[in-house]
């Protein structure tokens, strides 16, 4: 999706193409805090593309961690706190993967 311009090629790309730049087993981090301002479309696209063995590093993930856990994308999570805040409770898919032993956790608080 590169459109040439007078000052060089465009740096714009599709969401799917941007996610294809993330290889399996990569370390990733995302913006946002708990349920606020996470790049949800990007996270969903990583899951849709079935990335595997990812290492998520984020102080306070929520939806992004839970979705990638449910999709089987994560091998490790280096996190501080994860919660869906008082209204929605704990990150259930994340917890399920940890209890099964399929997701390694490094807790940083």
The yes-or-no verdict on residue 2 having pLDDT over 60 is: no
pLDDT at 6 over 80: no
Domain residue ranges of the chain, discontinuous segments joined by +: 24-107
The counts of H helices and E strands in the chain are 5, 6
- Give the pairing of strands 104-107 and 27-28: unpaired
Which residue from 16, 50, 46, 44 is spatially nearest to 28, judged by alpha carbons? Answer: 46
Mean pLDDT of 19-26: 98
- pLDDT tens digits for 50-81? 999 999 999 999 999 999 999 999 999 999 98
Under 8 Å CB-to-CB from 76, ≥6 apart: which residues? Answer: 55, 56, 103, 104, 105, 106
How high is the pLDDT of residue 72? 97
Instruction: Output the pTM of the full model.
Output: 0.87
Q: How many CB atoms neighbour CB 33 within 10 A?
A: 13
């Amino acid at each position: 999706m590169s459109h040439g311009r007078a000052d060089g090629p465009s740096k714009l790309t599709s969401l799917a193409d941007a996610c294809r730049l993330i290889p399996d087993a990569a370390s990733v981090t995302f913006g946002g805090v708990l349920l606020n301002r996470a790049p949800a479309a990007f996270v969903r696209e990583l899951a849709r593309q079935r990335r595997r063995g990812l290492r998520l590093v984020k102080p306070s993930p929520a939806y992004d961690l839970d979705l990638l856990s449910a999709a089987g994308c994560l091998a490790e999570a280096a996190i501080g706190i994860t919660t869906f805040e008082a209204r929605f409770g704990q990150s259930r898919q994340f917890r399920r993967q940890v209890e099964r032993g399929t997701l390694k956790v490094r807790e940083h608080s």
